[in-house]
Amino acid sequence: MMQHPHILAEIDKARPVDPATDDGELFPALSLADCLARQQRPARWLIKGWLPESGLAVLFGPSNAFKSFVALDMALHIAHGIGWHGHRIAQAPALYLALEGSDGVVRQRFPGWHRHHALMETNPPARVIEVPVVLSRLPDAEKLMRTSLAAFGRPPGVIVVDVLKRAMDGSDSDDKDVAALLESCRRVFPAALILFITHSGWGDNNRSRGHSDLWGSFDTRLKANGEAAARRVTLEVERHKDADGGGAIVFELVTVETGMADEEGQSVTTLVPVRTDDAPRPQEKPPANDNRNNLTGNNAIALEALKDALARGGQKPPSDQHDNIPTSVMVVTLDAWRERFYGRKRDPDDTVEPDEAKQEPKQDTLKKAFGRARDALQGKKLVGAWGDYCWLVKGDTN
């Protein structure tokens, strides 16, 4: 075996270092126990199934695919803490870097979105940046962080970069220029999600333009397929690095008032994405294998208990939950469902009302049984739940 004396000498010099007295210039080395501890933390999302809590993401597609409208819609739902078209969100401050067509974002899209959603009187943690920001330059990235701290009192949760090529020096096809952009973003914004908007690749609509290092660096890749004449766009999850992909939503771009007029007094409008019925919400998708008739034990009891609770006291979802709950379903509270389950467990004939049922000595056992059954039914896509409300997924009305 070939020896390298100069390398071995350097290794020998390193051996006496005591980590307890070292100056901190050591690489973190994770053991199996460290990895397992990290595993206990659940996957976290800004938009469940669409945008992870942190990292780099891209929204790409051809020209006139309404990419910017969709990205702004995502950012503002996150900033306001409103569920995004049936998907749970984590509220966080949002920065929108309008590096192209900033006047339209400032005067039309940003106000128009708020007017459409009846949120004109709010002051969400969302800001539009309309001056050049070159994120591949470390001073610019650090300045953007200071801007967030001044505006929100904390770092941004999501940064939308519209468009990628305006946020970097050089070319997005040059590996060194791309490396500078990635290094700066990761160093300054390690806990934020940066969503870059860009065009499809030259001659390849199935990937974004730019160097392969850039394409491979994205933790999430979203693809927009637009129909300009019909004002429709299909948004797809092309890939998540660490989660399942494959989601798709169809939007129509509806015309909304912005509150401003042109020089002739005509109302100036903008577009806002509205989900169509062509793409069912996650809770409404029928299960791949319809095994409702194969349910047994507590799972079967829980499903029948929910049907009973809905028959007794089902109601339309509250108006403030329409972004999170399908408007076509009837809902009951989780407590009402749980009580019907307890009643059926205590009395299989279920001839008594919940408040008349005898108190079971093993209440904790009932609670655990209900929790497991509830999770199983949600996992089978037979039951939907949001907050304190639950409902039968469309298709399970037998």
- Could you read off the pLDDT tens digit of each residue along the chain, which spans 398 residues? 445 555 445 445 444 545 445 556 899 899 999 888 877 777 789 999 999 999 999 999 998 899 999 999 999 999 999 999 989 999 999 999 999 989 999 999 999 999 999 999 889 999 999 999 999 999 999 999 999 999 999 999 999 999 999 999 999 999 999 999 999 999 999 999 999 999 998 778 889 999 999 999 999 999 999 998 889 999 999 999 888 766 899 999 999 999 898 888 888 999 999 998 544 444 444 444 445 456 788 888 888 888 888 877 778 788 777 677 887 778 889 988 988 888 877 654 443 333 433 444 367 788 888 888 888 888 888 898 888 888 888 544 34
389-392 vs 383-386, strand pairing mode = antiparallel
Q: What's the longest Cα–Cα distance across the chain? A: 86
On whether the pTM is more than 0.85, the answer is: no
- Residue 272's beta-bridge partner residues? 254
Is the four-CA dihedral 315, 319, 325, 327 of positive or negative sign?
positive
Residue 250's nearest CA partner among 230, 276, 231, 268 is 276
Q: What residues contact residue 372 under an 8 Å CB cut-off, 6+ apart?
A: 298
Contacts for 363-370: CB closer than 8 Å, 24+ residues apart:
366/341, 366/342, 369/298, 369/341, 369/345, 370/298, 370/302, 370/338, 370/341, 370/342
| Domains of the chain and CATH, by start | 46-278 (3.40.50.300), 284-392 (no CATH)
Predicted pLDDT of residue 171: 95
Buried b (16+ CB within 10 A) or exposed e, 28-46: eeeeeeeeeeeeeeeeebb
Question: What is d(CA 204, CA 208) in angstroms, rounded to the nearest whole number?
Answer: 8
Predicted pLDDT of residue 11: 41
Predicted pLDDT of residue 361: 39
Residue 268: φ, ψ to 5°: -95, 130
389-392 vs 332-333, strand pairing mode = antiparallel
CA-CA distances (angstroms) from residue 180 to 136, 141, 200, 232, 365?
A: 5, 11, 22, 36, 57
Please spell the DSSP secondary structure of 98-128, one letter per residue: E-SSHHHIIIIIHHHHHHHTT-TT---SEEE
* Token couple for 276: 């169509």
Residue 198: φ, ψ to 5°: -155, 175
Predicted pLDDT of residue 350: 42
Question: What is d(CA 308, CA 303) in angstroms, rounded to the nearest whole number?
Answer: 9
| Tally of CB atoms within 10 A around 105 | 22
Given a contact cutoff of 8 angstroms between Cβ atoms, the answer to whether 103 and 131 are in contact is no
* Cis bond before residue 163 (omega within 30° of 0): yes
Tokens 């399970």 belong to residue: 396
* Token couple for 150: 């001044």
